């Protein structure tokens, strides 16, 4: 069993922070690898992010708040 | 090229590797995109078929040197997916214990000897690995992988030429993906194909389609056969398409969007998969099994990495040198090695240059792995300073190898041969010329042990002359650059002041497990001394005290020592007792001897022929002040060369350097006499 922490990703060299626009999943959901889990807005664009891993997800961050790259936003327990 | 040139088994093996590479590359990008991982990553999408096909003709013992767009190369050569993934995570179970990272994966077990982050720098090193294979008759072939951008780097020219001259069993594999980072191939060269350049070196050049495993496997098989027959190198160019920007997250605006979209819609994996079904009659279910197995392998590797420990504080100073106490700030106290048993060989009077040749002769007679490389080192010249005189006549031109004027190729070849376990001694004629191969010295020789997590080592010696105060050499043939070498962790730095030490220190360097820079002062090359016959060693990190004294410690090395001794004699006439310390090696530094001396004399003057400003003496002075601040009777003095280039005019040259009279005056001022 592994716990994987997802953080605000660095999607471009200049990206410093991002804002989660929407969670497509909720705490306790079982998710698949490749499943879209949230959308994020950074300086340039909006991107829908896929899960790198299958497992049970726990959300750590709310939508609408701007957070620095590297801020933990969710955990996946596999 | 017809599809029939591959057997179904070969075709499936190549496809399996392509799929494994793709799965790994995709997973890393998925993890980066989701914020699970964060590092600079250079995806290999579009290039999977190249190593999958080319390396399929290699044997496990054949070797690869590659570059930072690496995942496809290292997986195709057979590295463990778990260890590759763990290295991406920076974990201690990674290929390099988390010290190398995605740009410096090394896996000697599978034959991946070096991954460099410096464009083009792998080629000189691959030559050295191939040279070792040639020397030992192992039949190994070395493939060095690089991009089209690297073909415009100077190291490419030096390496192709040297490989051709020596007919080395090396394949220069150019993965031409049409972009050098953000600049297109068309904007970088007027060559239609990189392989066209091979003819200029007398090398076979072949360009093949990087999406065609059949064509690449055949071309690689031909190149390998040529190499194993002793017919030398091949420049194999695989034209491919990079299916994303330079790095993860970097812009793709500079790329032709229509071409990019078309490439993504029909990748080499798509193309080959369709052919496996249509031309080879392979069942869809077989391919799906391969794809599922690859995903499972990647997931397993991901979990392995995730659960692996990170390197800790205990790992900070390890894998820099074989012995952690060499690291000056490791907190592991350097112990001055005990003096060795006195040499038993009959002493003869030799000049320093002859003592150096004597050391090389002894080492070559003792050990078939020792060999020499350099410009003009062969007889009748025997080196421009006569340090190799007579050796090619005695040991042959295979072991006393004259080289083209190609410093990067020389040092790279020494690195590669050392990686293979040989003990190369390369000569860079004068220290100033090390500046044209600093990348090989500082980015590679110094760091490969560390970047591989200690899995590779580079036991080489670079001999180079520091001129200075011998007149007429001027600003580009006379510098003492030891402070530059000392500033980059990983090198040992030796600077003998006399014939006896030169021989004993050089022999120690040759058998040392770490890369050594052996600085030879031209000023003392023709000064005679008594030198025993045979093998004797002076341990690195053991200073000498050629004159004991009580009022001041004069700390020097190289040709500063005879000047300091001259000053000490003059000071004695006016009643000042100066102790002279000859450091002999700067790294490792014999701090215990320095500290014990200054603790007694309570005054220190550091003297060196290198420029005083930011010189090695600054480090010693700072350390002395920190340790002895309240105990010192005078500020620590430094006397180095003036902050000027070295002038041609003899008067300017003399004013630039410290000398016995200047040392005497400074010492007298510090003692207050």
**B296 in A contact zone (CB under 8 Å):** no
Contacts of B88 in chain A (CB under 8 A): none
Mean pLDDT in order along chain B per 10 residues (673 residues): 73 98 95 90 93 97 96 96 95 96 94 97 98 98 96 97 98 94 91 96 98 97 98 97 89 91 95 96 97 96 94 95 92 85 94 97 98 97 93 98 98 98 97 97 98 97 87 86 97 98 98 98 94 97 97 98 98 97 98 97 97 97 96 98 93 92 98 80
CB B24 within 8 A of CB B269: no
Q: Identify whether the C-beta of residue B525 lies closer than 8 Å to the C-beta of residue B562.
A: no
Considering the domain B545-671 in this protein, what is its CATH number?
3.40.50.920
Picking from A5, A8, A52, the nearest residue to B27 by CB comes out as: A52
Q: B327 with B55: CB under 8 angstroms?
A: no
Where in the sequence is the domain holding A15, given as residue range(s)?
3-77
Helix, coil or strand: residue A54: coil
Under an 8 A CB cutoff, do A34 and B299 touch?
A: no
Contact between B242 and B47 under an 8 Å Cβ cutoff? The reply is yes
Cβ pair B417, B113 in contact under 8 A: no
Q: Residues, chain A, total?
A: 78
What DSSP character marks residue B454?
A: T
Contact assignment for A13 to B302 by CB distance below 8 Å: no
Q: Name every residue in A having a CB less than 8 A away from some CB of B.
A: 2, 4-13, 15, 33-34, 37, 47, 49-53, 69-70, 73, 78
B307 contacts in chain A (CB < 8 Å): 2
Say if the Cβ atoms of A69 and B306 lie within 8 Å.
no
pLDDT at A18: 93
The answer to whether the Cβ–Cβ distance between B249 and A2 falls below 8 Å is: no
B307 touches chain A (CB under 8 A): yes
Query: Is B3-309's fold the same as B347-532's?
Result: yes
Residues of chain A with C-beta less than 8 angstroms from the C-beta of B247: 13
Q: What chain A residue is nearest to B27 in terms of C-alpha separation? A: A52
Nearest to B91 by CA among B309, B318, B317: B309
Cβ neighbours of residue B202 closer than 8 Å, sequence gap 6 or more: B164
> What is the reported pLDDT for B673?
54
DSSP category for residue B534: S
- Which residues of chain A are within 8 Å of residue B38 when distances are taken between CB atoms? 7, 9-10, 69-70
Spatial CB neighbours of B579, under 8 Å, sequence gap ≥ 6 = B545, B547, B548, B549, B550, B552, B553, B554, B568, B597, B600, B601
Q: How far apart are CA A14 and CA A11, in angstroms?
A: 8
**Segment 384-423 of chain B within 8 Å of chain A by CB:** none
Inter-chain touch B38–A7, beta carbons under 8 Å: yes
Are B100 and B106 in contact by the 8 Å Cβ rule? The answer is yes
- Mutation site for A-interface testing, chosen from B35, B246, B299, B303 by largest number of A Cβ within 10 Å: B35
Q: DSSP letters along B19-61, please? A: HHHHHHHHHHHHHHHTTS--S-----TT-THHHHHHGGGS-TT
Q: Residue A69 and residue B36: Cβ atoms within 8 Å?
A: no
Give the model confidence (pLDDT) of A29-74 as tens digits.
999 999 999 999 987 689 999 999 899 999 999 999 899 999 999 9
Do residue B32 and residue A37 have CB atoms under 8 angstroms apart?
no
Q: What tokens appear for B512 in the block?
A: 């040392």
Cβ–Cβ below 8 Å for B35 and A8 = yes
Measure the CA–CA gap between B280 and B286, rounded to whole angstroms. 12
Name the helix (H) or strand (E) containing B617.
helix B616-628
| A53 interaction partners in chain B (CB closer than 8 Å) | 36, 299, 302
Measured between alpha carbons, how far is B69 from B73 in angstroms, rounded to an integer?
Answer: 8
Residue with tokens 């040279």: B131
Q: How far apart are CA B502 and CA B493, in angstroms?
A: 13
- Rounded-to-integer distance, Cα B597 and Cα B114, Å: 44
Q: Look up the pTM and report it.
A: 0.96
Question: Which chain A residues are within 8 Å of B302, Cβ to Cβ?
Answer: 52-53
Position B332 scores a pLDDT of: 81
Residue B554 contacts residue B634 (beta carbons within 8 Å)? no
Count: domains in chain A: 1
Question: In the block, which residue shows the tokens 């879209």?
Answer: A36
Residue B587, Cβ density class (10 Å: 0-12 exposed, 13-18 middle, ≥19 buried):
buried
> In this complex, which of A5, A9, A70 lies closest to B33 when CB atoms are compared?
A9
Q: How many Cβ contacts (< 8 angstroms) between chains A and B?
A: 60
Chain B residue whose CA is closest to A3: B306
How close A59 comes to chain B (CA, Å)? 13
Looking at the annotation, which residues of B are catalytic? 477
B33 interface with A at CB cutoff 8 Å:
yes
Cα torsion through B34, B38, B44, B45, rounded to 10:
10
Q: Can you tell me whether residue B526 is helix, strand or coil?
A: coil
CATH number of A60's domain: 2.40.50.100
Residue in this structure with the two tokens 């003297």, named with its chain if needed: B607
**Separation in Å, CA B215 to CA B54, B169, B206, B227, B271:** 9, 21, 11, 18, 14
Cβ distance of A50 and B33 shorter than 8 Å: yes
- Residue B564: which of B615, B601, B605 has the closest Cα? B605
Cα-atom radius of gyration of chain B, to the nearest Å?
Answer: 28
Q: Which two tokens stand for residue B12?
A: 């499936």
Cβ atoms within 10 A of the Cβ of B266, count?
13
> Within an 8 Å CB–CB cutoff, is residue B259 touching chain A?
no
User: How close B45 gets to chain A, by Cα (Å)?
Assistant: 18
Domain ranges of chain B: 3-309, 347-532, 545-671
Question: Distance between CA B280 and CA B14 in Å, rounded?
Answer: 13
State the architecture of B3-309 in CATH terms. 3-Layer(aba) Sandwich (3.40)
CB contact under 8 A, A9 and B38: yes
Strands (E), B278-367: 347-351
C-alpha B2/C-alpha A42 separation (Å) is 49
Which CATH architecture does the domain made up of B347-532 adopt? 3-Layer(aba) Sandwich (3.40)
């Amino acid at each position: 069993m592994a716990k994987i922490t997802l953080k605000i990703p660095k999607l471009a060299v200049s990206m410093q922070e991002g804002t989660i626009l929407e969670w497509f999943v909720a705490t306790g959901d079982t998710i698949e690898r490749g499943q879209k889990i949230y959308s994020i807005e950074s300086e340039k664009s909006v991107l829908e992010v896929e899960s790198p891993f299958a497992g049970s997800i726990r959300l750590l961050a709310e939508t609408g708040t701007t957070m620095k790259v590297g801020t933990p936003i969710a955990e996946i327990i596999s | 090229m017809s599809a029939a040139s591959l057997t179904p088994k070969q075709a499936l093996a190549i496809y399996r590797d392509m799929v494994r590479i793709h799965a790994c590359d995709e997973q890393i990008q998925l993890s980066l995109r989701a914020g699970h991982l964060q590092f600079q990553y250079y995806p290999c999408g579009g290039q999977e078929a190249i190593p999958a096909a080319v390396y399929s003709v290699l044997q496990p013992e054949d070797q690869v040197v590659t570059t930072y767009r690496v995942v496809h190369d290292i997986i195709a050569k057979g590295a463990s997916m778990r260890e590759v993934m763990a290295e991406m995570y920076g974990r201690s179970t990674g290929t390099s214990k988390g010290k190398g990272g995605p740009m410096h994966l090394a896996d000697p077990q599978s034959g991946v000897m070096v991954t460099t982050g410096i464009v083009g720098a792998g080629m000189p090193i691959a030559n050295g690995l191939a040279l070792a294979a040639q020397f030992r008759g192992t039949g190994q072939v070395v493939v060095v992988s690089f991009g089209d951008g690297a073909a415009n780097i100077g190291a490419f020219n030096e390496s192709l030429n040297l490989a051709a001259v020596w007919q080395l069993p090396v394949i220069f594999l150019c993965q031409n993906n049409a972009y050098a980072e953000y600049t297109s191939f068309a904007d970088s060269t007027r060559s239609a194909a990189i392989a066209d350049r091979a003819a200029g070196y007398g090398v076979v050049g072949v360009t093949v389609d990087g999406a065609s495993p059949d064509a690449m496997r055949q071309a690689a098989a031909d190149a390998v056969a040529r190499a194993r027959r002793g017919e030398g190198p091949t420049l194999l160019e695989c034209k491919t398409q990079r299916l994303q920007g330079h790095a993860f997250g970097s812009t793709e605006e500079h790329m032709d969007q229509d071409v990019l979209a078309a490439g993504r819609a029909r990748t080499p994996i798509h193309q080959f998969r369709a052919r496996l079904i249509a031309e080879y009659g392979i069942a869809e279910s077989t391919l799906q099994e391969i794809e599922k197995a690859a995903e499972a392998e990647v997931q397993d590797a991901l979990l392995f990495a995730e659960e692996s420990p990170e390197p800790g504080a205990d790992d900070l100073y390890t894998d820099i040198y074989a012995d952690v106490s060499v690291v000056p700030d490791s907190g592991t106290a350097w112990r001055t090695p005990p003096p060795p048993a006195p040499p038993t060989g009959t002493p003869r009077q030799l000049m320093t240059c002859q003592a150096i040749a004597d050391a090389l002769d002894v080492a070559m007679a003792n050990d078939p792995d020792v060999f020499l490389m350099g410009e003009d080192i062969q007889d009748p010249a025997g080196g421009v300073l006569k340090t190799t005189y007579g050796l090619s006549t005695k040991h042959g031109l295979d072991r006393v190898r004259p080289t083209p004027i190609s410093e990067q190729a020389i040092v790279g070849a020494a690195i590669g041969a050392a990686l293979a376990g040989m003990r190369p001694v390369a000569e860079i004629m004068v220290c100033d010329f090390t500046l044209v191969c600093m990348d090989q010295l500082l980015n590679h020789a110094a760091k490969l042990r560390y970047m591989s997590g200690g899995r590779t080592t580079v036991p080489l010696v670079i001999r180079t002359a520091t001129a200075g105060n011998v007149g007429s050499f001027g600003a580009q043939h006379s510098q003492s650059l030891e402070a530059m070498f000392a500033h980059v962790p990983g090198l040992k730095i030796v600077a003998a002041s006399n014939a006896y030490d030169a021989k004993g220190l050089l022999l120690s360097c040759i058998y040392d497990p770490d890369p050594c820079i052996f600085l030879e002062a031209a000023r003392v090359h023709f000064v005679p001394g008594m030198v025993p016959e045979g093998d004797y060693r002076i341990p690195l990190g053991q200073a000498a005290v050629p004159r004991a004294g009580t009022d001041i410690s004069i700390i020097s090395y190289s040709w500063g020592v005879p000047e300091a001794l001259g000053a000490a004699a003059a000071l004695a006439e006016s009643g000042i007792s100066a102790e002279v310390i000859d450091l002999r090696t700067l790294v490792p530094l014999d701090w215990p001897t320095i500290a014990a001396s200054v603790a007694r004399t309570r005054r220190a003057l550091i003297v060196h022929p290198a420029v005083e400003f930011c010189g090695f003496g600054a480090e010693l002075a700072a350390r002395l002040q920190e340790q002895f601040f309240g105990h010192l009777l005078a500020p620590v003095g430094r006397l180095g060369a003036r902050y000027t280039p070295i002038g041609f005019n003899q008067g300017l040259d003399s004013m630039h350097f410290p000398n016995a009279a200047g040392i005497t005056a400074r010492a007298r001022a510090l003692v207050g006499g």
